[in-house]
């Protein structure tokens, strides 16, 4: 740190020379609020309309399914669980990935996370809500859903699934909301007295009188640390309990001790990929290339591939343990060489090998390459969930032929509606909240020297003071300095 690399130094001088610091800090606030301030463009309206139409189609399909029964979604007595439970696991899984990625980066003080956490946490919140909603098309009688609370059976894994998802959703909300408090105060001040009623409620009430004092900052940081620490075991428990809905039956292929970690890792893996997708989408949509660079994608890519390898290993361990003795090999044959083989090998090639190659080669190791890999990871992990659900469900437990599941327009439309709901909800959400946490960006101090960091904070403080009429103390620069120095160039 003391010995500074010449190149970095000269880079920094360039920036200083061009008097970029003030612009940079202005840019942080400006870019963070780009989604709120600017009137949405044509592209935004087209996208939101199309996505909205897909969601409406999904709702219509669901009403149709309610009327005609689950047979219209392709279900039958041998494929009694299929696409919707895979959807539930997939959506809640990516949510978990978003929350935990953000929590771990926060806890380990990774300052490069700053422009990513808001997007990751928003994605986590949106997907857990969508995932929870998919329980309704899964049930034969969603109208009786509350029976779980009225007549609870504590020995049922499904009861605990319900409890775990509920607790986790609440935690995700808090995790999303806490870092938002200072931003709400900033927005509230910016709007001044001309606030409409909803704006008053949203920004003034929800900012809880945030003044940015040292005491408040300390409390917020403590709260964030606690919730970051809590959300990790919470998310682990959600996915373990979800996996027990399968593992606590006597079905070959499901009754596996490996299932809880298997589900947890799958969730992390797909979740990291989803963070990449959301970040890529908003980066492009709101031109945030300045703050979110290739470097961010590469780092997320490394994290993703590492998790992918653990998942591949667990898949292998599961198949070998079950397959070797040959006692219950039916579902393995069906998975690896039988009717589920195309899906299984699609997962292996598109969901595991492809991202490894993308990250391994310098040519593809960039934002575009990693975004494309992430698309395949998310899709193939959904396919993988189907390959976990279907072979064990459709196997004949007594004698006779294998059952099978066939997609119908109903199940496809409802699933697509869930997919469309992710960008739909996020795009609407970011009309009202900043794209990244201004405070965290400030602390991260993207540029690399003591003077600059403090210079930036001073400028930011000035800006904030202008909006808020308050003194904002500059954070210590040393931490962000070390971090940003490691980033290098």
Partner 1 sequence: MSESKVNRRNFLKIVGAATAAGTVEMVTYKAYASTNSAPNGWKGTSGVSGSSAASMANTASPPDHQWAMVIDLRSCNGCKSCTAACQKAHYLTEDQTWIDVFTMTDTIGRTYSMPRPCMQCENPPCLHVCPVHATFRTNQGVVLVNQGRCIGCRMCMAACPYQARYFNWNAGVEYPSMPIKPTPEMPVPQRLGTVGKCTFCVGNLNDGLLSECAAGCPMGSIYNGDMKTDVGVNSMGNTIKLSEFLYDNDAVTFKTSQNTHPRVWYIMGHGQNLDNDDQAS
Residues at the interface with partner 1 (CB under 8 A): 68-72, 75-77, 80-81, 138-142, 144-145, 147-148, 150-153, 155-159, 162, 245-246, 248-252, 254, 327-331, 333, 393, 395-400
3-state secondary structure of 244: helix
Residues 6+ apart with CB under 8 A from 404: 78, 79, 339, 394
In angstroms, give the least distance from the CB of 168 to partner 1: 18
Kindly state the smallest distance separating residue 11's Cβ from partner 1, in Å: 59
Of the two residues 81 and 175, which places its CB atom closer to partner 1 in the complex? 81
**Positive or negative, the Cα torsion across 92, 70, 397, 334?**
negative
Q: What is the dihedral of CA 62, 66, 70, 71, to 10 degrees?
A: -100
The residue (of 216 and 328) whose beta carbon lies closer to partner 1 is 328
For residue 112, the 8-state DSSP code is: G
- Cβ 411 to partner 1 shortest distance, Å: 13
Instruction: Report the nearest approach of partner 1 to the CB of residue 233 (Å).
Output: 23
> 19 or 325: whose CB is closer to partner 1?
325
- Of 248 and 372, nearer to partner 1 (C-beta) is 248
Task: Rank residues 113 and 138 by Cβ distance to partner 1 and give the closer one.
Answer: 138
Question: Are 441 and 26 spatial neighbours (Cβ–Cβ below 8 Å)?
Answer: no
CA–CA distance, 409 with 417 (Å, rounded to integer): 12
Q: How far is the CB of 330 from partner 1 (least distance, A)?
A: 3
Angle between helix 83-107 and helix 214-247 axes, rounded to 10 deg: 150
- Nearest to 35, CA basis, from 410, 430, 322: 430
Query: CB of 407: closest distance to partner 1 in angstroms?
Result: 15
Name the H helices within 286-401.
294-325, 330-336, 341-346, 354-360, 367-394
Name the minimum Å distance from CB 89 to partner 1: 14
Q: 470: closest CA among 206, 188, 176?
A: 188
- Least distance in Å: CB of 84 to partner 1? 11
Pair of tokens at residue 188: 């509230």
Which tokens go with 86?
């895979």
Smallest distance, Å, CB 88 to partner 1?
11
When the beta carbons of 43 and 401 are compared against partner 1, the nearer one is 401
Tokens of 468: 């808020």
End-to-end CA distance of the chain: 14
Between 37 and 144, CB nearer to partner 1: 144
CA distance 188 to 174: 20
Give 61 or 181: the residue with its C-beta nearer to partner 1.
61
Pseudo-torsion of CA 122, 128, 130, 135, nearest 10°? -170
- In this structure, what token pair is assigned to residue 180? 């938002």
The answer to whether the CB of 82 falls within 8 A of the CB of 366 is no
Tell me if 258 sits within 8 A of 82, measured CB to CB. Answer: no
Of 80 and 432, CB closest to partner 1: 80
Nearest-angstrom CA–CA distance, 304 and 289: 21
C-alpha 203/C-alpha 121 separation (Å) is: 19
Q: Which is nearer to partner 1, 328 or 364 (CB)?
A: 328
User: Any idea what DSSP says for residue 351?
Assistant: I
């Amino acid at each position: 740190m003391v010995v500074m690399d010449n190149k970095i130094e000269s880079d920094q001088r360039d920036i200083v020379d061009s008097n970029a610091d003030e612009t940079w800090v202005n840019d942080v606030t400006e870019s963070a609020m780009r989604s709120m301030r600017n009137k949405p463009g044509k592209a935004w309206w087209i996208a939101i309309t199309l996505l909205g139409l897909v969601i409406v189609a999904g709702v219509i399909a669901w009403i149709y399914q309610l009327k005609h029964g689950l047979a219209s979604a392709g279900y039958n007595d041998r494929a009694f669980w299929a696409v919707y439970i895979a959807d539930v696991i997939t959506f809640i899984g990516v949510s978990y990935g978003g929350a935990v990625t953000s929590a771990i980066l926060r806890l380990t003080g990774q300052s490069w996370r700053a422009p990513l956490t808001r997007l990751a946490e928003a994605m986590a919140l949106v997907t857990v809500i969508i995932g929870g909603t998919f329980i309704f098309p899964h049930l034969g009688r969603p109208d009786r859903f509350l029976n779980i609370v009225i007549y609870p059976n504590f020995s049922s894994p499904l009861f605990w699934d319900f409890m775990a998802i509920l607790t986790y959703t609440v935690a995700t909300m808090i995790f999303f909301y806490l870092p938002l408090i200072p931003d709400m105060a900033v927005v509230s001040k910016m709007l001044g007295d001309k606030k409409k009623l909803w704006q008053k409620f949203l920004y003034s009430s929800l900012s809880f009188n945030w003044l940015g004092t040292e005491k408040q900052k300390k409390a917020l940081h403590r709260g964030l640390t606690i919730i970051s620490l809590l959300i990790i075991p919470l998310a682990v428990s959600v996915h373990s309990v979800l996996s027990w809905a399968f593992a606590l039956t006597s079905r070959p292929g499901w009754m596996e001790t490996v299932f809880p970690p298997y589900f947890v890792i799958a969730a992390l893996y797909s979740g990291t990929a989803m963070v990449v997708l959301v970040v890529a989408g908003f980066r492009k949509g709101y031109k945030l290339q300045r703050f979110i660079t290739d470097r961010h994608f590469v780092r997320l890519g490394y994290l993703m591939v590492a998790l992918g390898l653990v998942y591949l290993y667990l898949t292998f361990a599961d198949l070998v343990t079950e397959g070797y003795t040959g006692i219950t090999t039916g579902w393995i044959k069906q998975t690896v060489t039988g009717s589920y083989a195309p899906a299984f090998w699609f997962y292996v090639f598109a969901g595991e090998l492809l991202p490894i190659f993308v990250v391994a080669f310098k040519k593809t190791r960039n934002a575009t390459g990693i975004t494309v890999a992430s698309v395949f990871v998310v899709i193939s992990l959904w396919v993988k969930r189907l390959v976990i659900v279907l072979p064990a469900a459709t196997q004949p437990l007594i004698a006779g032929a294998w059952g099978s599941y066939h997609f119908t327009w109903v199940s496809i439309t409802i699933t697509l509606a869930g997919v469309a709901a992710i960008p739909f909800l996020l795009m609407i959400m970011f009309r009202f909240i900043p794209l990244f946490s201004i405070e965290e960006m400030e602390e991260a101090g993207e540029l690399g020297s003591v003077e600059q960091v403090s210079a930036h904070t001073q400028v930011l403080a000035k800006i904030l003071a202008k909006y808020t009429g308050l003194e904002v103390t500059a954070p210590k620069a040393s931490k962000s300095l070390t971090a940003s120095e490691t980033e290098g160039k």
